[in-house]
Amino acid sequence: MILGWCLAGPALGHGPLPERVEALTEELQGHPEDPDALLRRGTLRAQQGQHGAALADLELAHHLAPDRPDIGERLAATLLELDRPSEADSLLTRLLEASPERSHARYLRARARVALGRRTEAVRDFDEAIAGAGNPGPGVYLERFAAEDDPEARIAGLAEGVERLGPVVTLVEPAVRELLDAGDTDAARSWLEQLPASVAATPRWRIIEGRVHAAAGHHGEARAALRAALAGLDERPAGRRDTSAHRALRAEIERELAVLEPLPKLGYLGAIGVVVGGALLLLVRRALSPPG
């Protein structure tokens, strides 16, 4: 995943990967110290999953052109793929000293530091990567959320994402979950209220709404939300209802509803059953009792 996220990658040609690697190998035989060709071949080899060979190409390219941040970032990404975060961190630190504006390098170093357990520094790098990138997607906010230990900062980070991207489900859901775990149902409800109506009305979000109500002790509202979720499922076309994901969702709703529902009332037939049963019991007892 990381490799593909490099800025302005090299021209790689198109066609089958092995043929392109072979063509670059021929090119490198004539110019063995061409950092661009090494970068291209290293990138292609990484795409083939040959991370060891990719690393050799990228290390040589970096050695030949140590000031090229694109090569440094790709090398760091490959080191991360190979689970060598310490080396990636050192490389990126040197790179960022020379080019502090490289948001992508900052992001990669954040990931390296997460892997090294240096979470506070990682969060700082995520902060700067987000601030430096013009329009970061939800994934970066989620990674920062996972790296952050402070509960308030975790929620604040998601709120920053929502402010920039809108109330996307990928950011709202962890916030609601976090707040529910902390017992702050009011805050959880206000996060839910940010969702567009079209999303909030879907069965999956009705379930989450039900959980928030239940956690707040509002069992009537919780039941209503879960029933609305069931009704939403029933309104779907038959083909959409008949998928394993929808069946699992229905089972989940019914399970949660069963916990919330009061004991079932007897109903009309039940009442008749009780009366008839009681009368029969009386008759049997009379029949069995000794004549008096």
Residues lying near another protein in the complex (CB under 8 A) are found at 1, 4-5, 7-17, 47-49, 103-104, 107, 129, 133-140, 142, 161, 165-171, 173, 196, 198-199, 202-204, 235-246, 248-249
CB 75 within 8 A of CB 66: no
CB 230 within 8 A of CB 257: yes
Angstrom CA distances, 137 to 6, 58, 74, 158, 174, stand at: 15, 28, 20, 12, 16
State the Cα–Cα distance between residues 153 and 4, nearest whole angstrom: 29
Considering the complex, state which of residue 139 and residue 277 has its C-beta at the smaller distance from another protein: 139
C-alpha angle 158-192-243 in degrees, rounded to nearest 5: 100
Query: How far from the centroid of its chain's Cα atoms is residue 109's Cα?
Result: 20
Considering the complex, state which of residue 16 and residue 262 has its C-beta at the smaller distance from another protein: 16
What single DSSP character describes residue 238? H
Place of tokens 């939300």: 225
Considering the complex, state which of residue 134 and residue 264 has its C-beta at the smaller distance from another protein: 134
**Shortest separation between residue 202's beta carbon and another protein, angstroms:** 4
As to burial, measured by CB atoms within 10 angstroms (0-12 exposed, 13-18 middle, 19+ buried), residue 104 is: buried
Other beta carbons less than 10 A from residue 45's beta carbon:
22
Query: How far from the centroid of its chain's Cα atoms is residue 225's Cα?
Result: 25
Considering the complex, state which of residue 196 and residue 278 has its C-beta at the smaller distance from another protein: 196
What is the H or E stretch that residue 158 is in?
helix 151-165
**Shortest separation between residue 87's beta carbon and another protein, angstroms:** 21
Place of tokens 């004991």: 263
**Shortest separation between residue 86's beta carbon and another protein, angstroms:** 22
**Shortest separation between residue 124's beta carbon and another protein, angstroms:** 17
Considering the complex, state which of residue 89 and residue 143 has its C-beta at the smaller distance from another protein: 143
Considering the complex, state which of residue 6 and residue 214 has its C-beta at the smaller distance from another protein: 6
**Shortest separation between residue 181's beta carbon and another protein, angstroms:** 16
**Shortest separation between residue 150's beta carbon and another protein, angstroms:** 20
